[in-house]
Amino acid sequence: MKPRTEIKIALAGNPNSGKTSIFNGLTGAHQKVANFPGVTVEKRIGHKNYKDYGITIVDLPGTYSLTAYSLDEKVARDFICQEDPDLVVNVIDSGNLERSLYLTMQLIEMGIDFVIDLNMWDEAVEAGIEIDVDRLSQLLGAPVVKTIGNRAQGIESLLETIIALYEGRKDEHRHPMVSYGSQLDDIVSDLTREVHHCKGCRHCANPRWVAIKLLEDDRDIKRRFLSNREVSAELTKKLNDSLDHLKATTTEDPEIVITEGRYGYVAGIVRKVMSHPKSDRMKMSTSVDNVLTHRIIGYPVFLIIMWLIFQATFSLGQYPMEWIDAGVSILQQWASATISSGMFADMVIDGIIGGIGSVIIFLPNIVILFLGIALLEDSGYMARAAFLMDRLMRYIGLHGKSFIPMLMGFGCSVPAIMATRTLESPRDRILTILLLPLMSCSARLPVYILFAGAFFGAHAGNVIFSIYILGVVVAIIMAQLLRRTILRADDIPFVMELPPYRMPTAKSVVIHMWDRTKIYLQKMGGVILVASIILWALGYFPQKKEFSQDYDAQIAALAVQDTEPAADSIAVLEQARIAEVMEYTVIGRLGQAIKPVVEPLGFNWQMGVALISGFIAKEVVVSSMGVLYQLGEEAEDNFGQLSKVLRDPERGVSPLVAYAFMVFVLLYTPCIVSVLAIKREIGSRWMWFSVVFQMALAWCLTFIVYQGGLLIGLK
Amino acid sequence: MTTETKTSLDKLRQGQKGKVLAVAGYGAIRRRLYDLGLHAGEVITMVKTAPLKDPLEISFGNGHVSIRRSEAALITVEPLPD
């Protein structure tokens, strides 16, 4: 068999142009998600074997332009410029030709070969828009293909065209030059010549594009071309002359003159190829929209939809989570029956199998939440949700789109952190992720129930509610603080397209869901597993060999009696032994070592140990308390008993301490899986920031609550 | 003529059309608005406001866009007769 020729292509296009559906149509399941080098912008790569070719397809971020102002745009153009794809497929929303062609103009300027993909052709036809495809192809100097991405129509002909363009069989790929008006065109030509002659500023890009970008005052291109004074002296001089000349003749910035030039050129093309250019294809959508964003019923409908997603994710997700839990227990039992007991067995059973369990337990949440998000995004409702919530979210300096991850945070921070992928601005993502752990997740609820139930009786509900509110209030204050200090607003305005409502397709929803699940399992699973095993080891070593009393002998002696009081005594002895073992381990010692730190908060050392073990998962706090108070590991089933023991005055826990403890559990560093999710999404620098910041926040606020409470005479 | 012929985009009534005369602001904000198609000469329709009066939904070309009131205020338009 003849070896395949490998070619590399990139998909470029506006957000909402259906680029993803084309990508899915081209690659099917053969795709993977990575990040573009050095940034957290997602890069989807797929592969397709077609005839004699192996085609690697890279899905660039959806952008309207290719400036250096936004990270997505910079990533997209750097890819085109530096990775040198053989050609670009420019995916265009056929119903919105004029806006889409603005990006096409910039591809022409870059001098790259491209295929125009008129996607969502059916919608354009329905709206009565007619496009003269041949004429468009001629005017752009590029082949044009019609597709309906979400029904996988036209993919074959797109592939044919890609191959044909690559083989050079299409002779029309002679792009025109975008004209910006005769005066500017002359200046651009002069400057292009200078760029061309500039020795030492060799660059992958087309000299004309560089000239245009220099005139546009593009900071990135300027840095690359003009920073070396020696080689670029001539060019700098020429550029300054050109800019002076422009300033003398127009009042506008050259950047704006060039932009207007592109629009003028696009308008000219659109006039020639499109009839019925001004139709409102949103008409069908409008009646739906009148309900969904209605002045009065818009919010109730929104709340119902959010409620449904929340319930599906966390209540429906509860069932498979229980099955997974049960499955893990069965596996552990099987393992303990198979492997002879000893340290190795303990490591396999509690460390490895337990660790795997802690990874896959979140799967149901992630799968269901991303099913919901995929439906919201593909149907077009996500943009409306952001439209409805924007005003409210702006109080905390966030975008309307941040609402959904924030809401999910009350269920579980892990899927919520992953859901911030829907936010475009990196700053919004960082801010949202930093605030997310303040939304009290469901794993913290057992701790509240235990303490509030034990100390506040009939008022427990109100007390727990106050903790939730406290989290939200702290989030609002922190948001104000953060965006005035380290996360200042970048100047990107909130302009968001409201796409027409569409019926989501099963294929794209499934792919979207599977993507997230894969990221979770591949990119995070391994690290979580290792971290769980390490934490297990910290709670296992060093092993205590010598005990304060000879438990084994006492138990053996009691066992002979075979009476009920004897059995009870055995249980008490075993608990005491477990507690001694736990105190002896690294975690136990840490808990005792941090006593001076937690004492000002009113906590005893058992509480300190429980908090450290809560790093594995917040609900572990309760079971650790159970062990430390010698009630056995099944403290969750033993709530009543544990709360009775907690109330025992000799234990030193008062209602004030209990409340302080709840405040601390609300605010302190999220569980290990969340921390790793944060690292995965925004990098280790922000992860450490989040860890330290939450810790400091928890300590300070708890200190204020406890010491303040003492001052005003609370107990 | 005594009627005001220039206003900012956020001042348009629901359903009213306006032709863009200029986009104020600077740097990234301005460039972004331009790149999205809000450039001089474009005719914009005020579709509606969100329930809390902000942001606004506008339409131009063949698409609908949501824009915050503060950003719409940067865009000078000439209101067109209905």
pLDDT in tens, A672-709: 889 999 998 888 999 999 999 999 999 999 999 999 99
What is the pLDDT at residue A114?
Answer: 94
Domain end point (choices A127, A144, A167): A167
Q: Cβ of A295 under 8 Å from any chain B Cβ?
A: yes
Contacts of A258 (CB under 8 A, 6+ apart): A180, A184, A212, A215, A216
Longest dimension (CA), chain B: 36
The answer on A357 and A377 residing in a single domain is: yes
The answer on A336 and A410 residing in a single domain is: yes
Domain membership of residue B1 (yes or no) is: no
Burial A471-492 (b: 16+ CB within 10 A, else e): bbebbeebbeebbeeebeeeeb
| CA-CA-CA-CA torsion sign (A639, A644, A650, A654) | positive
Contact (CB<8Å) A492/B59: no
- Residues in chain A within 8 Å Cβ distance of B27: 69, 491
Q: What CA–CA distances, in Å, run from A604 to A492, A609, A652, A661? A: 49, 9, 8, 10
Q: ∠A243-A249-A253 over CA atoms, to 5°? A: 55
Domain tally for chain B? 1
pLDDT in tens, A292-311: 888 889 999 999 998 898 88
Max mean pLDDT among A18-22, A71-75, A556-560, A610-614 falls in A18-22
The answer on A217 and A145 residing in a single domain is: no
- Residues in chain A within 8 Å Cβ distance of B38: 495
- Tell me which amino acid residue A525 is: G
**Tokens matching residue A400:** 């309307």
Domain membership of residue A546 (yes or no) is: no
The answer on A132 and A96 residing in a single domain is: yes
Judged by average pLDDT, the poorest of A247-256, A257-266, A469-478, A651-660 is A247-256
Split at pLDDT 50, 70, 90, the class of A88 is: very high
**Tokens matching residue A329:** 């227990």
Domain that residue B45 falls in: 7-80
The answer on A414 and A452 residing in a single domain is: no
Q: Kindly state the percentage of chain A with pLDDT values over 70.
A: 92
Option in A282, A400, A493 nearest B33 (CB): A493
The span from the CA of A12 to the CA of A17, in Å, is: 10
- Residues in chain B within 8 Å Cβ distance of A401: none
What is the pLDDT at residue A153?
Answer: 92
Domain membership of residue A432 (yes or no) is: no
* Residue of chain B with shortest Cα separation from A69: B28
The answer on A146 and A14 residing in a single domain is: yes
Contact (CB<8Å) A282/B28: no
Judged by average pLDDT, the poorest of A29-43, A102-116, A419-433, A667-681 is A29-43
Q: How confident is the model over A431-453, as a mean pLDDT? A: 89
Domain end point (choices A237, A260, A275): A275
- Residues in chain B within 8 Å Cβ distance of A97: 62
What is the pLDDT at residue A635?
Answer: 46
Most A CBs within 10 Å, among B64, B65, B69, B76, to test the A interface: B64
Nearest Cα to Cα of residue A387 among A282, A302, A514, A274: A302
Domain membership of residue A686 (yes or no) is: yes
The answer on A613 and A711 residing in a single domain is: yes
Reply yes or no on whether the pLDDT at A628 is more than 80. no
Domain membership of residue A311 (yes or no) is: yes
| CA-CA-CA-CA torsion sign (A473, A402, B68, B82) | negative
Domain membership of residue A673 (yes or no) is: yes
Contact (CB<8Å) B61/A260: no
Q: Of residues A108 and B61, which shows the higher confidence score? A: A108
Closest approach of B11 to chain A, Cα-based (Å)? 17
DSSP assignment string, A92-138: EEGGGHHHHHHHHHHHHHHT--EEEEEE-HHHHHHTT-EE-HHHHHH
What is the pLDDT at residue A668?
Answer: 93
Most B CBs within 10 Å, among A495, A496, A498, A501, to test the B interface: A495
Which CATH number does the domain housing residue A258 bear?
Answer: 1.10.287.1770
Domain that residue A69 falls in: 5-167
DSSP assignment string, A337-388: HHSPSSHHHHIIIIIIIHHHHHHHTTHHHHHHHHHHHHHHHHHTHHHHHHHH
What is the pLDDT at residue A16?
Answer: 84
DSSP A410: T
Which CATH number does the domain housing residue B11 bear?
Answer: 2.30.30.90
pLDDT in tens, A629-678: 665 555 445 566 777 777 777 677 889 999 999 999 999 998 888 999 99
The answer on A150 and A254 residing in a single domain is: no
Contact (CB<8Å) A259/B34: yes
Secondary structure of residue B75 in the 3-state scheme: strand
β-bridge partners, B77? B7, B20
pLDDT in tens, A344-401: 888 888 778 877 887 788 788 888 988 988 898 888 898 899 899 998 888 777 888 8
| Complex-level ipTM | 0.91
Split at pLDDT 50, 70, 90, the class of B2 is: very low
Place of tokens 């300054």: A240
- Per-residue H/E/C for A502-569: CCCCHHHHHHHHHHHHHHHHHHHHHHHHHHHHHHHHHCCCCCCCCCCCCHHHHHHHHHHHCCHHHHHH
A437: preceding bond cis by omega (within 30 degrees): no
What is the pLDDT at residue A7?
Answer: 94
DSSP A296: T
What is the pLDDT at residue B1?
Answer: 43
The span from the CA of A652 to the CA of A571, in Å, is: 25
What is the pLDDT at residue A251?
Answer: 76
Domain membership of residue B2 (yes or no) is: no
- Estimate the crossing angle of helix A254-273 against helix A97-110, to 10 degrees: 120
Split at pLDDT 50, 70, 90, the class of A57 is: very high
Q: Where are the alpha helices (DSSP H) in A599-683?
A: 605-613, 620-628, 639-647, 655-667, 672-682
Domain tally for chain A? 4
Which CATH number does the domain housing residue A143 bear?
Answer: 3.40.50.300
Q: How confident is the model over A323-351, as a mean pLDDT? A: 86
The answer on A194 and A160 residing in a single domain is: no
The answer on A314 and A250 residing in a single domain is: no
Q: Of residues A479 and A487, which shows the higher confidence score? A: A479
Reply yes or no on whether the pLDDT at A430 is more than 70. yes
pLDDT in tens, B42-73: 899 999 999 888 899 999 877 888 999 988 99
The answer on A301 and A356 residing in a single domain is: yes
Residue A403 host element (H or E): helix A403-408
Domain membership of residue A516 (yes or no) is: no
Q: How confident is the model over A425-450, as a mean pLDDT? A: 88
Domain membership of residue B65 (yes or no) is: yes
The answer on A385 and A252 residing in a single domain is: no
